[in-house]
Amino acid sequence: MLTGGLLALLGGAVALTLVITSAAGPDQAGPLMATPTSTPTPTVTSPANPADTAPATVEPSIPAIPPPANLPVVNYDAAPGGFPADPDPMSTVRLREGLHPTAKVGAYDAPGGRPRAFLAPTLAGVPLTVPIVERKSGWAAVLLPSANRTVAWVPPGNWKTVPLRDQLVVERKTFRLTWLRDDKPVQTWRTTLGTRATPTPLGRTFVLGRSDLGDNVYADTDVFALGAVPDDPDAVPSGLRGAHIGLHTWYNDDTLGKNVTDGCIRITKSGQRKLLEEIIPGTSLVVVDKLPAPTPGPLTAG
């Protein structure tokens, strides 16, 4: 594991300082459990007209304005303003690719638009991978770290893609977290979520990294720090200002099915340890009130 910078996470009652680590970097996908599929037999058909054989139209690339050197670098603090809203924040469609900067890259408000900040290869000392939500003219729109329901546009160059097979979906009304791999449900756990004053933020976010706290309150189990932050920073205790939303376990399961946290998502110890084995940075997590259809499968007991 790679030890990174010091981070703050929303805890139960006190502010905590975290050392974030990365279990699997951009080139490590972790354990895989793919279901074998048969290879379709190719078929050959005659085109209906000559236009069917024409090459696909390539969308012209939009040039990027060179970003000023004095722009801020996105870090664990609140992200700079001026970025656009996520075009589909409540979508539960899996985000299949992440973007990992290989050098400092400009983050823009639109393809060919105004540069607002930089994304660096690491954030708080760990490799940064942000999910791609849209592509246009060679540019990629990614979920912006340290902000809620916000994207940044990144021009071509100085980044590579990371395949993302997993997705986490949290339902606030039913207190359920479902882990999906390749769009198929794997396991579901009961959760503890934020209070009315400090609700778990709705919308798409992602796993930023993990941290080894070495603390009994977290059942001596690593926590995930997410890209999301409290919707109302002033509503959380003053000692937690600047903290991120976390996904973690707790020293007991007494509060499962209740709204008692400062916005974090708690699951069982065995559930958290399973996700720590399987989930890589950049994996998307979407919080909804309730899915249109019931989550498949029963709740996992432990």
pLDDT score, position 9: 62
In a domain, 55, yes or no: no
The tokens of 60 are what?
A: 């012209």
Separation CA 6–CA 16 (nearest Å): 10
Q: For residue 239, is it within any domain?
A: yes
Q: Please, which pLDDT band fits residue 237 given cuts at 50, 70 and 90?
A: confident
Question: Confidence class of residue 58 from pLDDT cuts 50, 70 and 90?
Answer: low
pLDDT in tens, 112-164: 999 999 999 999 888 999 999 999 999 999 999 999 999 999 999 999 999 99
Same domain, 170 and 141: no
Tokens of 238: 């003053």
- Calculate mean pLDDT across residues 250-258: 97
Last residue of a domain, one of 118, 147, 164: 164
Residue type, 104: K
Strand order in the sheet with 139-143: 115-119, 105-108, 151-154, 139-143, 130-136, 97-101, 159-163
Q: Taking Cα atoms as reference points, which of 297, 280, 296 lies closest to residue 126?
A: 280
Average pLDDT, rounded, for the chain: 84
3-class SS at 265? strand
Contacts of 38-44 with C-beta under 8 Å, sequence gap 24+, read none
Residues 208 and 284 in one domain: yes
| Among 140, 164, 188, residue at a domain's last position | 164
Output the pTM of the full model: 0.83
User: How far is CA 115 from its chain centroid?
Assistant: 23
Q: Are residues 149 and 253 in the same domain?
A: no
Q: Tell whether 192 and 265 lie within a shared domain.
A: yes
Residue 2 has pLDDT above 50, yes or no: no
Q: What is the pLDDT of residues 186-220, one digit of tens each?
A: 999 999 999 999 999 999 999 999 988 777 899 99
Q: Collect all residues with Cβ–Cβ distance below 8 Å to 285 and sequence separation of at least 6.
A: 167, 168, 169, 170, 204, 205, 206, 207, 226, 247
Lowest mean pLDDT among 56-60, 142-146, 208-212, 258-262: 56-60
Give pLDDT, residue 163: 98
Of 114, 132, 164, the position where a domain reaches its end is 164
Helix (H) or strand (E) holding 270: helix 269-278
- Say what the pLDDT of residue 133 is: 98
Query: Amino acid identity, residue 151?
Result: V
Number of compact structural domains in the chain: 2
